[in-house]
Structure 1
Amino acid sequence: MHQFYDFFAGGGMALAGLGDHWECLYANDIDENKARCYAKNWGDAHLQVGDIADVEPSQLPGRPDLAWASFPCQDLSLAGSGEGLGGARSGTFWPFWRLMEALRAERRPPRLVVLENVCGAITSHGGKDLTEIVRAICDGGYVVGALVIDAEHFVPQSRKRLFIIGLQQTVKVPAETMKNSPTDLWHPPALVKAHGKLPDALRKKWIWWNMAPPPPRRSILADIVETDATGVRWHTEQETARLLEMMTPSNRQKMDLARSLGRPVVGTVYRRTRPDGCGGRRQRAEVRFDGVAGCLRTPRGGSSRQTIMIVDGKSVRTRLLSAREAARLMGLPDEYWLPDNYNQAYHVSGDGLVVPVVRHLTEQILAPLVDSEELKAAAA
């Protein structure tokens, strides 16, 4: 049994993805709603609710194989404040890392560290924020590398996320977990460019992690849509008409194509503010019928919540994505407990990890690293 800490644990998606061979020794989150959801699904014996800045090393039991940290993305997101690691939310990386340094001083550092965040972390402040993260990890005694994984390979949701993996530098990296050069699937040009900007000393400690492609995804958006969704209502004809009026000609063409297929077609709509061509900006409705939902976001107002659209000939029906549908898009089973309040339930999913993504990363990289003879010897 492998053991881990789960920081910024949310609803426990890291635990769900890591699987039965991993035991969570300690979990922490400041959000009481997420913590309640975590406790309902996983129990609260190892859960501490509160600010990570208030966590003491003495509260962290044992020596884990892994420390997982999905630290807040708002200040690193392309749509966020732009404050980066100096922001109040994404800056919580630093109190997390102070805990890792304290464990190192006590000679019980995690053998592996995984950080998860939005891809904006790659380019934030011209790449300086990523450099600071990599420097902190390397100075803490780890070699490091990163991958960008799009959840679309696993679930019908377009959701790209950055995963940074650090391994104790005293351990020989198993050959099957690394490559000599980046791969197109997991290492996009932005990440390769950011790697090229790293100081030489950090590039020498960089690993191009090797991960096999997943099997073809078998589900599409229509498979997760509920026939009788709870917690949401179908829009009135007038509300749907207003949504259609907000579409550009290119989006209306998508509607015309969907109507011509002679069968029900399920799509999603996002309302976004776009330039109006006259120097101003206006809200637009953008639709997709490719069987994949757009990236879930937390419900900070109506524009951040996805709308389900079902087109069947001349019939067009719309409603908000339900909380259960959002959970399914994150790879959570229907037995997973969700709050009754729509915004609270949606927030848990929208801020979470996609479970099959964590599972694939675990099977392909984390488990082989933890199970390697070199790491076992280092742990002895």
Structure 2
Amino acid sequence: MTQATLPALLAQARARYTQREIADHVGKDIKTVRRWEKGETPCPAMLGPALRLLLATGNASSARRTGTPARFSFIDLFAGIGGIRMGFEAEGGECVFTSEWNDFSKKTYLENHGADHTFVGDIVSFPAEDVPAHDILLGGFPCQPFSIAGVSKKNALGRPHGFECATQGTLFFDVARIIAAKRPTAFLLENVKNLLSHDKGRTFDVILQTLRDELGYEVHYRVIDGQHFTPQHRERIIIVGFRGKTSFSWDDLRLPEQGPRLASILHRTDGGEPRLPWDDGRFFDHAARCVQPKYTLTPKLWAYLQQYADKHRAAGNGFGFGMAYPDSVTRTLSARYHKDGSEILVHQGEGQRPRRLTPRECARLMGFPDTFRIPVSDTQAYRQFGNSVVMPVMREAARIMTPHVEALLSSNGEPAATPPRDIALVA
């Protein structure tokens, strides 16, 4: 990128974004962007890669702020750092309400998505009637044990019961009470694969009974492996539902048979690593063209992990560290990755100690663009990405859901709702 072409690149960005959006993106103030645009101050070299990233990965919310109407509205529950939101924004959706209780996750969320709508912490104490109207409810709700004691007894006695009897005390209950109160056209819920087998399948049976029988939604679910889109084996169950009859089918998913490999997300040591102003050398030393040394395991930790693996191998167990190579797919990134990095250790050559992924590489492993900012410590960043979703999976789910949502919305203005049965919400 030569100095002479930077003003032209800035002009391209200004055709799509406001001066405020560009200033926020590159970490400068509006006056600085205005001086660049007028030619009063030369555009700095860092502006080139920053604007390329903005033009290549700018999301639908930015486009809407410049006049493009949203295709649908949605709320983001148990939002984390906004991975599900980003998938649905990419398909033209607009977020109208967010809930996330963790202060560190909230910091990352606000840094990347802003808050031009209601943002609450704990959804448990928030009245369902105060949630704004929306077309799609999104939620990566935590899986908690469900208490179904008493339901069979009530059935035997012929006493009516609603979903609150089986789900009260769990965070799924809060999803159900909001669906019952607001009756969105559709929902998407995400959870770990083991939700299917939890409590010998009884937990999932309660969820399906609640969504289908109690709330009256057409429900579809499928386990999807993130390795179709990023170099990580990460199986998650996705549950979608519609308030009306549809022809929705998971067969419409576009899942590449051969996904990318680890090399595609690693920092490039050949001089091709983009300079991200918001990272500012935190993860990668551009002068030395190498990952910062702090991510290489210490001799003591590396010795411990090898001894631990040898001990369990001798006992016939499969426990141990997971070495990852440029042409491989990693194990699942977990929220505990900050402790020792053992599930994904990057090979650095024979005789050399391996290293952890950097938080920027973790972001890429989850499908987040390099425009995504990481304003928290490494420990918190590892926890956040380990708890997040593979964003391209969410975008693909949004892609196949959206036509059915729009069809229901355009059917006489509103889909024919199936009234919920025996719902008696408790405060």
TM-score under structure 2 length normalisation: 0.64
Q: Which residue identity is paired with 2:104?
A: N
Q: Secondary structure at the match of 1:284?
A: coil
2:192 aligned partner: 118
Instruction: Tell me whether 1:376 sits opposite 2:410 in the alignment.
Output: yes
* Distance in 2 between residues matched to 1:11 and 1:240, nearest whole Å: 31
Higher relative strand content:
1
2:96 aligned partner: 25
Give the C-alpha shift of residue 97 in structure 1: 1.1
Give the superposed CA RMSD: 2.9
Answer whether contact 1:84 1:124 (CA < 8 A) is retained: no
Q: Which runs of 5+ in 1 are unaligned?
A: 76-82, 104-108, 179-208, 249-272
Q: Which runs of 5+ in 2 are unaligned?
A: 1-69, 149-165, 270-283, 285-290, 415-427
Which structure's CA Rg is the greater one?
A: 2
Q: Could you say if the C-alpha distance between residues 356 and 225 of structure 1 is closer, same or farther in structure 2, counting changes exceeding 3 Å?
A: same
1:347 aligned partner: 383
Give the C-alpha shift of residue 353 in structure 1: 1.4
Give the C-alpha shift of residue 309 in structure 1: 2.8
* Distance in 2 between residues matched to 1:345 and 1:275, nearest whole Å: 31
Answer whether contact 1:71 1:116 (CA < 8 A) is retained: yes
Give the C-alpha shift of residue 297 in structure 1: 0.7
* Distance in 2 between residues matched to 1:47 and 1:38, nearest whole Å: 13
Q: Could you say if the C-alpha distance between residues 238 and 58 of structure 1 is closer, same or farther in structure 2, counting changes exceeding 3 Å?
A: closer
Q: Which residue identity is paired with 2:406?
A: D
Q: Secondary structure at the match of 2:116?
A: coil
Q: Secondary structure at the match of 1:133?
A: helix
Answer whether contact 1:9 1:69 (CA < 8 A) is retained: yes
Q: Secondary structure at the match of 2:96?
A: strand
Give the C-alpha shift of residue 23 in structure 1: 0.2
Q: Could you say if the C-alpha distance between residues 311 and 57 of structure 1 is closer, same or farther in structure 2, counting changes exceeding 3 Å?
A: closer
Q: Which residue identity is paired with 1:211?
A: D
Q: Could you say if the C-alpha distance between residues 368 and 301 of structure 1 is closer, same or farther in structure 2, counting changes exceeding 3 Å?
A: same
Task: Describe the superposition over 1:246-281 as per-residue Cα deviations: whole angstroms up to 9, x where unpaired.
Answer: 445xxxxxxxxxxxxxxxxxxxxxxxx958539xx8
Write the mapping of 1:137-286 to structure 2, written as runs, cut at 5 A.
Answer: 137-138=211-212, 139-168=214-243, 171-174=244-247, 177-178=248-249, 209-217=250-258, 219-226=260-267, 227=269, 228=284, 229-230=291-292, 232-237=294-299, 239-248=301-310, 274=312, 277=315, 284-286=320-322
Q: Could you say if the C-alpha distance between residues 67 and 305 of structure 1 is closer, same or farther in structure 2, counting changes exceeding 3 Å?
A: farther
Instruction: Tell me whether 1:12 sits opposite 2:85 in the alignment.
Output: no
Of 186, 209, 223, 1:135 maps to 209
* Distance in 2 between residues matched to 1:360 and 1:115, nearest whole Å: 14
* Distance in 1 between residues matched to 2:177 and 2:138, nearest whole Å: 14
Equivalenced residue count is 303
* Distance in 2 between residues matched to 1:89 and 1:245, nearest whole Å: 45
Q: Could you say if the C-alpha distance between residues 282 and 158 of structure 1 is closer, same or farther in structure 2, counting changes exceeding 3 Å?
A: closer
Q: Could you say if the C-alpha distance between residues 300 and 154 of structure 1 is closer, same or farther in structure 2, counting changes exceeding 3 Å?
A: closer
Q: Could you say if the C-alpha distance between residues 112 and 28 of structure 1 is closer, same or farther in structure 2, counting changes exceeding 3 Å?
A: same
Task: Describe the superposition over 1:182-224 as per-residue Cα deviations: whole angstroms up to 9, x where unpaired.
Answer: xxxxxxxxxxxxxxxxxxxxxxxxxxx3333323555311221
Instruction: Tell me whether 1:98 sits opposite 2:206 in the alignment.
Output: no
TM-score under structure 1 length normalisation: 0.72
Q: What is the identity percentage for the equivalent residue pairs of Structure 1 and Structure 2?
A: 27
> Which range moved further: 322-331 or 215-224?
215-224
* Distance in 2 between residues matched to 1:288 and 1:39, nearest whole Å: 33
Q: Could you say if the C-alpha distance between residues 340 and 50 of structure 1 is closer, same or farther in structure 2, counting changes exceeding 3 Å?
A: closer
Answer whether contact 1:65 1:112 (CA < 8 A) is retained: yes
Q: Could you say if the C-alpha distance between residues 304 and 288 of structure 1 is closer, same or farther in structure 2, counting changes exceeding 3 Å?
A: closer
